[in-house]
Amino acid sequence: MDFWTAMEYAAWGISIVLVGWMLVDARFVSTTYGEDFLLSSREGDE
Amino acid sequence: MGTTTAAAGKQEKISLLKVLGPVHVWALGVGIVLVGEYMGWNFSVAKGGAYGALIACWVIGLLYTCVAMIDSEVTSTVAAAGGQYTQAKHIIGPLMAFNVGLYLVMAYTMLEAADALVVGDLLKAVAAQYGAELDPRPFVVLTIAFLAWLNYRGVFMTLTVNFVITAFAVLAILVLFFSTTGIAGGESVLRHSELLTDLPYGWIGVLASLQFGMWYYLGIEGTCQAAEEVRSAGRSIPLGTMGGMMTLLIAASLTWYICTGLIPWEYLGQATTPLYDAARLTGSVELEVILFIGTMFAAIASANGCINDSSRAWFSMSRDRYMPHWFGAVHPRYRTPYRAILFLIPIAVSFAFTGLLDQVITFSILSGLLGYTFMSFNIVRFRRLWPLGSIERGYVHPFHPVPAIVLGLLCGATYFATYLGYGTSLLSIMAFYILVSIWFVVRRYPYVKRGEQFTMPWPRPKGY
């Protein structure tokens, strides 16, 4: 495997890790906190 | 709520974090736009010649100065995420707000996709120099995934990174200017007297070049998406936006001056990366490396800012139930609109994987142009319903209604210019927005809680 092919695989791998991390975190947040709290932001609130 | 209440602790409500200052606002606006100086603006040279491109640079600069002035006044008053969407909701009405919100999401998501494509193509070009063939797609996905992750983790770090890489990209243009003009020492390598010609296609060419003149400034209006996250909207938004506009006017003029002094207009009008090409023509390896990094940073900064802005627009629309309410969630730790950020990742990747850079950019520009057209009559209605003195304004733009009239006229001229080159795209995107407007009125608006969407503590509008 040459350098550039390795870079391509590395880019795919890092992308999967980053998106996977966000999905797992989002799932964790949804199961830990209630929807009423997560959706409680109101425009104009200080 | 069960475990929810315990996990949430004593805090019952959550909001986006107010941590940004004028520097971040500047980084957001200039960061989104500066890639247009590194590539894209030069297609106006193909339409109108070198002088035509300069006229487009300044005429469209006037259009965007009007946009920045109007935006600064309204946003300093309507300080909420969503920017022009929120303005439209309070000043015009729900259907206009829905359309403006969608213009913003489409314009920024498509621009983000185009920026990621540019990063992939640049890396492909580097690999080609070493005799290798590189698939740009994993790098397009990595760009979008990394920047989305950065945005997910917090706005302060996101825009601090944007400030650093945007400042580098601006400095790279200055370094190239001082090096090529001989101000930094040595002789000037610019050959304007030999390369500049009359208007090759006359004034109709100048008119046609207006469409690509938008590349110099497209996205500066995105500064107002930060309104809910700045410590002082009345100070930071006008300062960051107007400072950004001044930076761009200078950078655009310098870019034109450097490139037209080094590259004949026939070639300049077709170049993919004109500033980088100009650096290569100087024969300096240092300048070539600086401008390559500058080009890469400009594309990354633009994609980064676009993720920030498109997610805030989508978040705001969802919070008002213009889109499914589920997307209106705020991350309890990072205080970002995390579901909106996540949702827009596959959309951006899909646009990028079409590989149709010019069509994606054209749709982005047209969505932006529709938004600017809205601003021209939005400010007239804003001043009429809430005259000066009736509500507190962080900034009052001068010479009203002259900027609104100038903006409306220049938008009209740019529509005509776009019709000359991309008539089908213009009509397609108009049809798209008409169809989604019908969907909104028939299917979506019944879900909107009408009373809750008006949040500004303003007095009753004049005449009502």
Give the number of domains in chain B: 1
Which residue of B314, B318, B330, B335 is the best one to mutate when testing the A interface, meaning the one whose CB has the most A CBs within 10 A? B330
**Can you give the residue range of the structural domain that contains B128?**
18-448
Q: Which residues in chain A have Cβ-Cβ distances shorter than 8 Å to B332?
A: 29, 33, 37-38
B210 CA: distance to closest CA in chain A (Å): 37
B392 interfacial to chain A (CB closer than 8 Å) = no
Q: Evaluate whether residue B454 is within a structural domain.
A: no
In chain B, positions 340-379, which contact chain A (CB-CB < 8 Å)? 341-342, 345
- B210: domain CATH number is 1.20.1740.10
A11 interfacial to chain B (CB closer than 8 Å) = yes
Q: Greatest CA separation found in chain B?
A: 77
**pLDDT, position B6:** 40
**pLDDT, position B1:** 34
**From first to last of its 464 residues, what are the pLDDT tens digits of chain B?**
333 444 444 558 899 999 999 999 999 999 999 999 999 899 999 999 999 999 999 999 999 999 989 988 888 888 788 889 998 998 998 999 999 999 999 989 999 998 999 999 999 999 998 999 999 999 999 999 999 999 999 999 999 999 999 999 999 999 999 999 988 888 899 999 999 999 999 999 999 999 889 989 988 989 989 989 999 888 898 899 999 999 999 999 999 999 999 999 999 999 989 999 999 999 999 999 999 999 999 999 999 999 999 999 999 999 999 999 999 999 999 999 999 999 999 999 999 988 777 777 788 888 889 889 999 989 999 999 999 999 988 889 999 999 999 999 999 999 998 888 888 888 998 899 999 999 999 999 988 887 778 888 888 888 87
For B142, which of A14, A32, A38 is closest by C-beta distance?
A14
Any residues with CB less than 8 A from the CB of B248 and at least 6 apart, and which? B30, B33, B34, B37, B61, B64, B216, B217, B220
**pLDDT, position B202:** 93
CB contact under 8 A, B319 and A19: no
Q: Evaluate whether residue B458 is within a structural domain.
A: no
Distance CA B270, CA B214 (A): 17
**pLDDT, position B2:** 36
CB contact under 8 A, B152 and A22: yes
Dihedral, B266, B45, B47, B243 alpha carbons, nearest 10: 170
Q: Evaluate whether residue B317 is within a structural domain.
A: yes
For A12, which of B4, B138, B325 is closest by C-beta distance?
B138
CA distances for B173 relative to B152, B276, B283, angstroms: 31, 10, 16
Distance CA B219, CA B302 (A): 9
Q: Which residues in chain B have Cβ-Cβ distances shorter than 8 Å to A37?
A: 1, 4, 8, 11-14, 332
For A22, which of B3, B149, B332 is closest by C-beta distance?
B149
ipTM above 0.90, yes or no: yes
A1 interfacial to chain B (CB closer than 8 Å) = no
Phi/psi at B243 (5° precision) = -65, -40
Q: Evaluate whether residue B460 is within a structural domain.
A: no
For B141, which of A7, A15, A26 is closest by C-beta distance?
A15
For B14, which of A18, A40, A44 is closest by C-beta distance?
A40
B82 interfacial to chain A (CB closer than 8 Å) = yes
Q: Evaluate whether residue B211 is within a structural domain.
A: yes
Least Cα distance to B148 among B116, B190, B191 occurs for B116
Q: Evaluate whether residue B2 is within a structural domain.
A: no
**pLDDT, position A46:** 59
**pLDDT, position B449:** 81
**pLDDT, position B464:** 78
CB contact under 8 A, A18 and B148: yes
B331 → chain A, closest CA residue: A38
Q: Evaluate whether residue B58 is within a structural domain.
A: yes
Q: Evaluate whether residue B70 is within a structural domain.
A: yes
**pLDDT, position B11:** 56
DSSP states along B203-258: HHHHHHHHHHHGGGTTTGGGGGGGTTTBS-HHHHHHHHHHHHHHHHHHHHHHHHHH
